[in-house]
Structure formats: C-alpha cells, structure tokens
Chain A
Amino acid sequence: MKIVKIIAWIALVAFVVIQFFPVDYNQSETVPQTDFMLVNNVPATVEQSLQVSCYDCHSNNTDYPWYSKVQPSSWYLEHHIKEGKAELNFNEWGNLSDRRKNSKLRSIINQIEDGEMPLDSYTLIHRDAIFSEANKTAVIDYMNKLKDSLE
C-alpha cells in the first residue's frame, strides 16, 4: 500500500505545481473592423448563434468558464482555442481573399451540416452552444447565400 501512497503524493504535488504554469488567455476588449459581423450583413438570429456556438474558439475573445483557471484544463482549452483560431478566426474575416472565404464557408457549412461543429467536447459543458434545428438551418442557409454571392 505504501507505493500507492507515494504515487498519490506525487500526483498531488504535480497538480499543485502545474497550477503555477502561465497560460496564454485568449481575450480582447476590441472587435476589429474585419470581424465577420461587421463585414457582412448578418441577421440577428444567425449572429447570436455564431457568437454562442463558435466565437469562443474562433475569435480573439473567449468567454472563459470557471475551470479554465484550473490546470490542466487551462492547457486543454488553450490548445483547442489555438487550433480553432488557426483554422478560422471570425474576427479576421475581412482579411481573407474571396478564394479563402469561399473555402472557409464551404468548411463551415459542411462541418455544421455533419454535426462535427461545435465539438462534442465543447457542447458537453456548453449546452447552449448546441444548434437547434431551426438555428442550424438558418446558419447554413445564410452561409450558403454568402458563398453564392462570392462565386
């Protein structure tokens, strides 16, 4: 039993130590002019859906949950947000060429249609981020319209 005790102590010490590791929080006070909502004429319901379901990981400003202050979940979130923004950052929409917008819209539409986005690991906690059927249709219709206007 001694060995179990030792392992438990090591785990506890490690847990305490990692709390002191710095985390790069994704927060910004300002919304740039290139933001998706400012560049496009987005209907209010669609805007609301995107803000709630997408912007935490696909913009420069995350609405952090309480557990983001506790390691190792902060690292987990940091990694997800970094990856999310690399794929798509709604705040920088206006900087994309029509070609890139077209490709991003295609991915947005497909991933929402297939239920790949928002991620299950995200909606597990953020229940409000799950698209209702009506919201899902509204978002996809809007994205399709936007895509057609580019082609």
Chain B
Amino acid sequence: MAMDNSQDAKAEAILKDYFNLKDALVNDDNSKAKELGNTLAQSLKSFDASSYSDSEQNELNDIIEDATEHAEHIGESDIAHQREHFKTLSKDMTDMVAITGTSMTIYEQYCPMYDNNKGGAWLSMNEEIRNPYFGAQMLKCGKVQREIN
C-alpha cells in the first residue's frame, strides 16, 4: 500500500465525490447526481498512479478508466441508468480503495433486492443503511457487509 500523502489525497477526493454522488441517489435527486457524476469524472481524470508499483499502476489505470466512463454516463442519464452505472462504479471504488488504502472508515453495504434480485453493493461513510439503489422507495433495505479500515 502506497502511503505517499499527495497520492492519498487524490484517492480521498475521488471517494468524497463518490459519497456525495451516493447521497444524491439516496435522495432520488437525478439532476444533483448528474452534476456530481461530472464532478467525480473530473477528480478521476486528475488521478495519477505513478507512485504505485507497475502492477498496481496497471490495475489502477484500468479502474480509473472504467470508473470515469461510468461517472460520465451518470452525468447525462436518467436516474434508473444512473443507478445501473453506480453499481459498477461502486465495484471500481472498492477495488481502488483496496490498492490506495484510505484514512476514512468505510462500510461496504449490500442490498440483495437491486437489479432483479442480483443484488448491488455500495460504499458509505455511515454505518446506518441509506439505500442509493432504491432511495425513498426502500431507504433502509440492506446490510453492512464489512468494514474497511
């Protein structure tokens, strides 16, 4: 795990943008989520993996490229599509944190009902469940899978 401070700062900024986006989806706020999707895409683009090992760089660049595409699509989609992209984006964020580490305490949470019962996971800074896939419709559906840090 790389512990370069400036590097961590960029990963933390990405995570914060991701959490803001998640909150917009929890609040069923399509236009806010669009805005925050674009903000996240910008943060992702400024990420620089050069301080990591070669294999980590490959993995990180792949994650960032994928996440950027999802963030950009969230910036221009209706809320159902935003949530679909958010599911894959959440996987990308989880994989990113596994490499970059974080100073925050993060909870991986899971709702088994999303995506025709295929389920969907997400990351949150709060232990309490607030479901970004269903919003007000099923706000508290889900459980904490694990704690990161």
Contacts and interface: CB of A to CB of B under 8 A. Distances in A.
Contacts of B73: 107
Contacts of A99: 62-63, 66, 92, 95
A110 B66 contact: no
A102 B62 contact: no
Contacts, number: 19
Contacts of B62: 97, 99-100
A126 interface: no
B8 interface: no
Contacts of B69: 103
B61 to A, nearest CB: 10
Nearest to A87: B69
A69 interface: no
Nearest to B58: A97
Nearest to A106: B88
Interface size class on chain B is 10 to 19
B84 A103 contact: no
Contacts of B22: none
A100 B73 CA distance: 15
Nearest to B69: A103
A103 B81 contact: no
Contacts of B130: none
B128 interface: no
B147 interface: no
Contacts of B92: 99
User: Which 6 A-B residue pairings sit nearest by Cβ, starting from the closest?
Assistant: A97-B62, A99-B66, A103-B66, A99-B62, A103-B88, A100-B66
19 contacts: A97-B62, A99-B62, A99-B63, A99-B66, A99-B92, A99-B95, A100-B62, A100-B65, A100-B66, A102-B88, A103-B66, A103-B69, A103-B70, A103-B88, A106-B84, A106-B88, A107-B73, A110-B81, A110-B84
Interface of A: 97, 99-100, 102-103, 106-107, 110
